[in-house]
Structure 1
Amino acid sequence: MFDLPTGDDQTVDGGEKEHPIVLEGYQACDFDALLRILYPTLRDLISGTFKLEMEEWVGILNLSTRWQMKEVREHAIKNLSNISLSPVKKVVLARAHKVAKWLKEGLTEILTENPVRPLDELETLGLKTACHLLWIRDRTASHKANGLGFSITISSLVCPGGHAMFTSALSCNGCARPILIDDTEAIHLYDTSSVQIKDSGNPGLNLQGQDCYLQDLVRALDPDPT
């Protein structure tokens, strides 16, 4: 850029303080936070930590995502994941910065919270998303009340040969909750219209075709994977 011919006034943006390069649509505070990661001070290097606030990490995530700085982006996601983010904040950040795992975590937490979050907070996600979430909660609750839902344990899941699929406790991939082998409250099926109960000495469940409302909602929001 500096090798290009200059105009009649002989000024080049970025060549002097009075004529800076202006990046439209970006915040100076975000750029300042990014520079603290790229060019740490001696004190930062000695301590091995960066004392940044949540909004500063969000700014770093924003710029590193836009400018395809993969390692910096992953570092920002890791540090923000260690901060106690509310479910709504997770969804908002996930959609803004394309972090798929936050979207799923946030929606799951909102759906399983009791009581439900205030409507004005859910409206932050957009009316369509809020309506989806409330519809899923209502459908799940009505199925429970009408006896359409039922609970199973992971010890009851068997392969076609009748062998137990799980013989020890697991952890949920979504919320990391421990699932004990005989915990009847750990896993549920609320839409039984496509579930076939088999009883041939080793009872099993055919889950093919089972609706998953949460997955439908995640696909509707369409986040790009990290």
Structure 2
Amino acid sequence: MRSRNLFWIGLCLLLLAACGNNEDTVAAKHNTNDEIDQQIQEKLPIDWVIEEDEEETIEEEKKAKSASITTEMEENSASDTEEDDTTPEDEKTDSLASYTNEEIEYARIWLQLGPDHEIDELNVRHIAEGEPLNPNWESSATYPEDVIQLTGSRLVDGSITYSGNGDGTINRYYVPLRWETNIPNDFSEEDIKIFTESFITTTKLITIDPAEGQEVISLIEKINYGS
């Protein structure tokens, strides 16, 4: 009986020893794996972090550079717009500075109302108050104020007869340039008086545009003062 107990006790001790060796082996293997993982982690993650940081840094630099370029382009565009808005006005003002107000007025009126802008010369004639609309007729009505008559060098260029109001408006008289083509042959002296007076009572108030630029200058340079 005693020998049997000793046998079982010995067997248990052998099993415990074997289990202990297995646990030591597993523990050793586990420790070895941990050491390998630690070595790998000490090397590879550092490289990976550096590469990721570098990529993030490069991307941030690209974004910052792009934002800087965009801001610079917007500032340049705004500056160009301001120059476009201001410079032409200065040039316009300077371009007419060497001409008189009267010359500018004549050119602007012809530019707006003249039937033909491609004229060889712009003739200016001053007509005093009291002068007849048609000097060839004794019964002709007379101008109630001083007027100015603008004509081209040819009949087809037409004419503009007006008085200025000094506020950018004019009173236009629709007086014909050639009376003989507008009066019936059988008109009496009374008919002529009534006919010419109708041009005085039908004047039209017109606002003249403050035109600028080369077209105005070109007409000014063609001005010719008549008698």
Of Structure 1 and Structure 2, which has the larger fraction of its residues in helix?
Answer: 2
* TM bracket, shorter-chain basis: under 0.3
Q: Tell me the TM-score normalized by structure 2.
A: 0.24
Return the structure number with greater strand share.
2
Of structures 1 and 2, the one with the larger relative CO (CA 8 A, separation 6+) is: 2
